[in-house]
Amino acid sequence: MNGSSIIELEDATWGQQVEDSNKPVVVMFYSPTCPYCKAMEPYFQEYAREYEGSAVFARMNIEMNPWTAERYGVQGTPTFKFFCHGRPVWEQVGQIYPSILKNAVRDMVQYGEECIRKSTPIGQDITGYV
């Protein structure tokens, strides 16, 4: 993204950039016409710069990448999801106070390894479809 520390994700790059990451990953699911996404963007960029060495920050356009958005139950934008070793561990939907997002990022970076020990892997073959 124009020299920023935020990666633009796509369905095809999700596995490599999120699931295989050794660092915690903060993803902002957005849509181009979402005014709340635009309002949160400067804060997201600020935190991406501040925590650049400790976490990966990424954005995903849900209109261009519906498969991943559906897979993780994204139903509104912006949706912020934190991933630890590819597993979702925290979520917040909508425009929120920037301090809430910043505190969540700080906590995830600080307790990153602990989050993996406190989560249970679910096989990829489990799905809601019959």
Residues belonging to the active site:
34, 37
CB atoms < 10 A from the CB of 77, how many? 24
What pairing do the DSSP bridges indicate for beta strands 87-93 and 79-84? antiparallel
Distance, in Å, from the CA atom of 14 to the CA atom of 20, rounded to the nearest integer, reads 9
What pairing do the DSSP bridges indicate for beta strands 6-9 and 56-61? parallel
User: HSE (CB half, 13 Å, CA atoms) of 69?
Assistant: 21
